[in-house]
Each structure stands twice: as structure tokens, then as C-alpha cells.
Amino acid sequence: MRKGVSKAPHRSLFKASGLTNEELKRPMIGIVNSQNDIVPGHINLDQIAEAVSKGVLMAGGVPLQFPTIAVCDGIAMNHNGMKYSLISRELIGDTIEVMANAHPFDGLVFIPNCDKVVPGMLMAAAKLNIPSIFISGGPMLSGKYKGKRLSLSDMFEAVGAVEAGKMSESELSCMENKACPTCGSCSGMFTANSMNILTEVAGMGLPGNGTVPAVYSERIRLAKTAGMKIMELVEKDIRPSDIMTEDSIYNCMVADMALGCSTNTALHLPAIAHAAGHDIGFKELNEVSKITPQICKLAPASEIFIEDLYEAGGVSAVMKSLDKMGLIRRDCLNVSGLTMGQICDAAEIEDEEIIRSKETAFSPDGGLSILWGSLAPDGSVVKKGAVDPKMMVHTGPARVFESEEEAIKVIYGRKIKPGDVIVIRYEGPKGGPGMREMLSPTSAIMGMGLGDKVALITDGRFSGATRGAAIGHISPEAAEGGPISLVKDGDMISINIPEHRIDLLVDEAVLEERKKDVVIPDRKLKPGYLKRYASLVTSANTGAVFKGE
């Protein structure tokens, strides 16, 4: 778009943007910035982009910024806005694809931070396959109230405590001023931090990208380094296909299980792998979970936060511990130019209580578990590392709700009994549409003191901040005629997490009769992206990618 007589009009337009003849001879680096003033994890991304631009300039390139969108899952939670969270992933990837093909860059720097932005950008990088590097905005520091460290999940659980009369509204007000003290992605092992960590493991982010706190000056220095490193990647023509290999995706699955990441990784990793030309699903995730000990346990499963993982040595130290077990594929390349083996060798484990060994692991298998059975023939997922031991095996009567709103009203009304299995359906990728997160219902259950007595299952999904016996991604979903659409109040549901089972204890002949009476709720969708998404999206067990992709 710059060379030769025929590109004189193009050069005139670049000059209209202020570029000189000298700049037009240099590599042009697109900087994809998802900054906005709404998402707390993204309000600092203008500083990150500025640092990246300085790095690019120092290395002799021309930085050119362009934007994409970002949704805050916490702010979008428990109202209609949550339907637009997951669906933003494909939209983010598409907007970047459009910009990068319409204006061919020599390289790309991706600046995400929260939830769907990270996987959406990783999918775009894989599809575009031009030299690329990621630098996120970094995690938030934990809050503190009355001597207890806090994160966003504590706020959602506090709402349940107020509803149960266990906390006053004045205490709630004090907490809300303390829980999220800085900018950055929410401070626990929630979806945003899970995906930023896995970006580093995949090799697309520099060592430190997943854990250096947002407010540390080290984050700015890392961004400058990323700006310089993209120039090396361009010069050597190292592309995402050279980095996001089958082996690096395998390393991501291992790290996912070792860290007890968000259940949303079971949605995003298959989608990212698919974009990179590799196929993984629930089966592969479960196989890796069986051989990978959970060596870290962070909030919401504990009072350890991402800043603590950073102080303990970060992602590199986690990988070092896993490498000692022979679980890491060492030859995978990182955008730094180092291999995963070299990164592991140089890492130091600074706190063996936070980053444990095989012998001292929290459990001999991974923090996520895939369940199959008559209720989920194509699978479902649970954050096993955050389930109370009393709920690892549970059988109870179903309490069925056709939407999150119906369920939360009954939960807040204190009409859920110990032993119940709450079923929230028609919230899947197609049926929601948009596969809403159910953080409010699960947090209400925990806040009311029912976390060791009640299970919740859904064809929707859960926030990484969720803890308890919360089983999501039930596949096939209700809107596709899955068995979850046949459940009635009082049906007994059996959950056995150690044996990877979830079953509806109803005779098959009875279920066949019920199929005749199933009516899928009409969401009365207006023309627009939500309606278009519902017509294109596939099941959660395939990563909720679009049909034909």
C-alpha cells in the first residue's frame, strides 16, 4: 500500500495523517488498543499504548493505533447487558481482521485486558498470521476491608449476605469503596487474568505479561519492550503460526489445570485452538486435567491474589514447577525469542506455598473438571478447585428456572432449600442468546451460607469469580433440545465430580414422553447483532464458534 507509482494516492493519504517520506519507508506496526473509559481493566490502556509506541519508535518502526471494543463482565452482570459479553469475542476478532486486511501492517501489537477481549484478539492474531505480540493492561491489586483482603467476587457474595440478613447495607457500602482499589483486570483468578496468563503460556506475551500489576511501573517498561520486540518479530518473520502450535496449546491446557483457571477457558481455548488450526475440546481438556496436579489456588478459591502469584515468581515459576514434573513441552517459542524451556530454566519459585510442587499440590489432578452423563451427553464444566468438599458428590431434587432472573428472584426470596439442585436453562449460546454468566446466583448462594448444601447447573456459563458446586456449559443446550430442556421440578439429579458424571435420574421412557411437550421460549429478538449471533453460534462444547468457521 506504499510502494510504486500506483500507490501515490495512498502515500498522499498517509501524508495527510502526518507521515513523512522517511516513515513511509519503515515497518508500519498496527497497535490494536481496546482502551475505553468504562472498563476498569482498560482505563489505563492509553498509557500502555503510548509505551508500546515509544518502543516501536526506539526500534525504528512506525506505530499506528486503532481501536476495538471491550465489555466489562462485572458491570454487564445480571441484566440484559450480559447477553452482549461473549458475543463481543467474535465481533472484536472481526473488527481487527477488517482493519488489518484493509490496511496491511508489517506487524501488530495487541493490547487487551479483560475477559472476551483477550481470546477475541488471540483468535484474530491466529487468523491474520502476521508478526504479532500481546501486552495486556495488567491485574488490579486486591482490596482490604476489616483486615480481610477483597476482590470483586466478595462484593457479589456480600449482596447475598445482605439479602440473608447477615450484613448491613452500610457495611456493604463500605466494602464497595474498598473491593476494587486500582485499575486493572479483577484481582483473582477470574477469566481476564486466566486468559492473560494463558496468553503468556502460549508464547504470545512476554514473560510477566500475565501477572505484573496494572499500577506497577514495570508494566510500562514491559509495554516498551513489547514495542521493541515486535520489530524483531517482523525482521525475523516470526508469525503466530510459529508460536501458537499444537504443543503450545497443550502447555496452555496444562497451565489452565495447574492454576485452576476460570471455567471460561474451556470455552475460549478450543476456540483459539480452532482459529490456529488445531482441534481440542472437552475430551482433551479432561485428559490433561487427569495428569496435571493443581499447584496453585487463587481467589475465589482462596485469599491468594494475582499480585501474590507475581511476587511468588509469576507464570514462569508456575511453568518451572510443571516442567520439573515433565509436563511442559519445552521447545515452544515465546515472542521474547526464548523457548519455554529456557524460560523455565531461568525462573525462580519465590514462594512454595503459592506455587507448589507435585508432592505438595492442592490436588493430584487439575482445577477444572469435565462432566458427562445423561444430563450432559456432550459435556459440562466445573471449577473443581473451588467446590466445597461436601459437594463433590451430591444428589438432590431439581429446582427448574427458565432464566437467570427467575432463579435469582427465588434465591433472594430464600425459597431454596439445602440439597436442592438449581437448574437455569435457555441461557446457552443460542438460547440466551449469548450464554450469560451466572455470578449473581452463585454468589447469592455463597453469601447466604448455602455453598456446601446447594448445587447450580446451567447451559449458560459462570464467571471466573464463581465458586461452589456450579456446573456450566451443559451441552447440548436446552435451545438445541438437550436433556436439560426435559428436567422438571423434583427430578433427582446426581453429581459426581471425581467420577466426571452428571446424570438426570429419570427413566428414558418418561423423558421421551416429555419431548413432545417441550416449548422453547421465544426471546423476541429484535433485528441486530444478538439475533444474528443466535443464528450462527455453535454449542459450548465446541467453543461457541460460528458455524462454518
Give catalytic residue positions.
463
User: If you search the block for the grid coordinates 519503515, which residue do you land on?
Assistant: 26
> Residue 33, class by beta-carbon neighbours within 10 Å (0-12 exposed, 13-18 middle, 19+ buried)?
buried
**Is the previous residue joined to 441 through a cis bond, with omega within 30 degrees of 0?**
no
Q: Give the residue among 421, 358, 356, 423 at the shortest CA–CA distance from 394.
A: 421
Q: Give the residue among 45, 83, 81, 82 at the shortest CA–CA distance from 65.
A: 45
For residues 373-400, one letter each, b for 16 or more C-beta atoms within 10 angstroms of the residue's C-beta and e for the rest, the string is: bbbbebbbbbbbbbbeeebbebebebbb
Cell of 134: 500481546
Cell of 526: 429484535
Q: What sign has the CA pseudo-torsion 291, 292, 294, 298?
A: negative
Distance CA 477, CA 521 (A): 13
Cα(first)–Cα(last) distance of the chain, in Å? 29
Helix axes 191-202, 246-259, angle to 10 degrees: 140
Phi, psi (5° rounding) for residue 394? Answer: -155, 140
Q: Give the residue among 429, 490, 493 at the shortest CA–CA distance from 457.
A: 493
